Amino acid sequence: MCILVKNTCILRENALPLRNKGCKREVSLKKRIINIIFLIMVVGLASAQVRRPKAHRDTRHYFYSNTTAAYSILLDGYNNTNEHGGFACILGLGYSFRVPNFWFEVGAELQQLSSYMQLIDDISDMRVKDTEGDIAIYHYNKDYWYDRQDLLYVGVPVMLGYHHYKGFSVGAGFKYSLRLYGVSHNRLTYSTSATYSNYIEDFEGMDNHDYSDYNRYVREQITDKMNHKFSACFEIGYTIYNTHNNYTSIKNRHVVCRLTGFLEYGLNSLITNYDKRNMYSINPYNPAELNTVSFYRATPTQSSFSIPLVIGVRWTYTLATITCRTCR
């Protein structure tokens, strides 16, 4: 069967208005987040500097490690997808500097993110000519179409926080991350049928005529996209004391454990360059065969954005590197 079919991507047209809709709101939200975090860090550093001469003995230098179990999702802003999140894990270690009521941390993190989206676009019908020269309308009945992304980043977080002597703790900061690994999984299940003008019913369920069920899967390495991200980070929780000690304030402790809720919001879009490729193409020699590509390698994303969001629970363990001179 020899058929010449020109594929048209209907996703591109639907996505164009989206950029104009949310662009101003997106920029405004990012500016507010940056200003809030910057104000918190300035106030915190100023307060810590004022109190330091009076309580220099309470200064602490720590090594810390943390583990975060979280839910991650890529907010693509594209109106023809349903975003769904996946499991995320963050492992970090670094240096922590503590003065009364305030702490400052800088370190390194390994972050694994996963997210997937369900594409809700329909595939256009095609006018084709079969092997006998009869004209037919080829139908693609989509059952399920999704695209999943698995990403691995290494990041450098900088956090400033406040802790109350009763255990309450809150922190905010920024993180820059560089992608180490990325892969996209695209799966499409569909069935085909055809309508002929000289027949009342559609032709379907005929495997010998390619009117059947199909399953397409494509795995692509993400090599030139999602290379780096800049994020705002927040955490709020409770400082848990070492039960083997009888100290009553965090300044007298060698070990500090903190259990917090954690949120990370991307300040830049992960998509910065685009391929001129359609979401799918049809084999001109076999119209039943659809070839798909990764969502983030297709042309429609040029009119959209991709913002990572991570929400989870973090356990932080800090260990003092100097001897406490005020302990009993």
Mean pLDDT to the nearest integer, 228-236: 93
Residues in the chain, how many? 328
pLDDT digits (tens, 9 = 90+) for 30-58: 566 556 555 655 555 555 444 444 434 45
Q: Which domain holds residue 67?
A: 11-320
Phi, psi at residue 202, to the nearest 5°? -70, 155
How many Cα atoms sit within 13 Å of 35 on the Cβ side? Answer: 6
Task: Specify if 77 maps to a domain.
Answer: yes
- Asked if residue 297 has pLDDT above 80, the reply is no
The pLDDT-based confidence of 234 (bands split at 50, 70, 90) is very high
DSSP 8-state assignment for residue 206? B
- Residue at 95 is within a domain: yes
Phi, psi for residue 44 in degrees, rounded to 5: -65, -45
219 within domain boundaries: yes
CB-based contact 279:293 (threshold 8 Å)? yes
Q: Pick the residue with more confidence: 123 or 323?
A: 123
Residue 327 falls inside a structural domain: no
Residue 5 lies in a domain: no
In a domain, 254, yes or no: yes
Question: Is 6 a member of any domain?
Answer: no
Backbone angles phi, psi at 315, to 5 degrees: -115, 120
Residue 326 domain flag: no
Sign, CA torsion 239/245/246/247: negative
How many folded domains does the chain comprise?
A: 1
pTM of the model: 0.75
Predicted pLDDT at 261: 96
What tokens were used for 147? 């695209």
Please name the amino acid found at residue 228.
Answer: H
Mean pLDDT of the chain: 76
Does the structure show a pLDDT above 90 at 291? no
Does residue 301 have a pLDDT over 70?
Answer: no
